[in-house]
């Protein structure tokens, strides 16, 4: 996914003069050519993640569309105060693109683990969060983020599903249950393939989400109505229960049971 992101953004920098990439050393080798073509719009600040977000906020104030990229714990957790103030409080937008989600970088130690990134961004208003499940889903999600003006988090993983799915804000039904009191399993991003394998012999509806914020509450309500039973399991590649409040809001008009699986 990271290579696909680099290729897609490199091409976008060639065609959209409003875009600017801010790096903190991570993946700088993937943008060598882009930096040579656009030295004023590809900026590597070194290992200064708080400054990276501050610079992104300044670029946004100047009318640019900044993209900040590094590993997830250094993009969301370490500079969280700058994310809250330099982007949110100033009322400007940026695209944050992470790599090494959750335990992808666990061999580096606890410093490189970030299972709580989406939950942390949930404490801030009006963030769009994309969690692609395949490298081919990265370009349309990134291109959509670049066209917007708000704050977008694109969460890249090292492992994904065997095949790409269409992207969009709506939950997609991948497998339908019989409708005779079958439950619903929502698989987020790279969890879909494993969810399909685990539920192969179960009478459940499986839905897929590559965009989790805003959460498709109306879509989940419709899927649950068709499934015939308001039992919902959400399988997320990050902190367990991150989307529990979204399910509760989506099914506020129904008696339901819910369970979360995650980190």
Residue in the block written with tokens 């009006």: 126
Would you state the pLDDT for residue 9? 98
Distance, CA of 94 to CA of 85 (rounded, Å): 13
Section 31-40 average pLDDT:
97
Per DSSP, what are the bridge partners of residue 20? Answer: 66
Q: What angle do CA 114, 116, 118 make, to 5 degrees?
A: 110
Distance, CA of 110 to CA of 116 (rounded, Å): 12
Token readout for 235 is 């399988």
Contact 97, 138 (CB under 8 A): no
172 confidence band (pLDDT: 50, 70, 90)? very high
Per DSSP, what are the bridge partners of residue 128? Answer: 152
Whether the bond into 214 is cis, omega within 30 of 0: yes
Residue 179 has pLDDT above 90, yes or no: no
Distance, CA of 24 to CA of 2 (rounded, Å): 15
**β-strand pairing of 19-23 with 65-71:** parallel
What is the average pLDDT value for the chain, to the nearest integer? 95
Contact 131, 155 (CB under 8 A): yes
pLDDT tens per residue across span 55-81: 999 999 999 999 999 999 999 999 999
Contact 224, 232 (CB under 8 A): yes
Residue 102 has pLDDT above 90, yes or no: no
Residue 181 has pLDDT above 80, yes or no: no
Residue in the block written with tokens 């600017």: 20
Residue 46 has pLDDT above 80, yes or no: yes
């Amino acid at each position: 996914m990271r290579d696909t992101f680099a290729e897609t953004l490199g091409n976008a920098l060639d065609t959209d003069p409003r875009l600017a990439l801010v790096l903190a050393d991570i993946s700088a080798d993937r943008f060598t050519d882009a930096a040579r073509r656009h030295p004023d719009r590809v900026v590597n600040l070194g290992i200064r993640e708080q400054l990276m977000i501050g610079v992104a906020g300044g670029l946004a104030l100047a009318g640019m569309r900044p993209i900040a990229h590094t590993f997830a714990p250094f993009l969301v957790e370490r500079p969280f105060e700058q994310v809250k103030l330099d982007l949110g409080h100033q009322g400007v937008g940026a695209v944050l693109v992470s790599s090494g989600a959750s335990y992808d970088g666990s061999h580096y130690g606890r410093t490189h683990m970030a299972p709580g990134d989406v939950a942390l961004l949930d404490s801030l208003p009006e963030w769009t969060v994309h969690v692609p499940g395949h490298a081919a889903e990265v370009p349309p999600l990134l291109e959509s983020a670049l066209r917007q003006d708000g704050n977008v988090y694109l969460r890249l993983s090292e492992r994904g599903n065997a095949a790409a799915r269409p992207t969009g804000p709506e939950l997609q039904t991948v497998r339908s249950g019989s409708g005779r009191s079958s439950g619903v399993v929502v698989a987020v991003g790279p969890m879909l393939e494993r969810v399909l394998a685990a539920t192969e012999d179960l009478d459940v509806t499986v839905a897929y989400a590559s965009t989790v914020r805003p959460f498709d509450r109306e879509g989940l309500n419709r899927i649950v109505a068709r499934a015939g039973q308001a039992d919902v399991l959400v399988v997320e590649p990050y902190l367990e229960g991150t989307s529990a409040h979204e399910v509760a809001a989506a099914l506020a008009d129904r008696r339901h049971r819910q369970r979360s699986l995650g980190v």
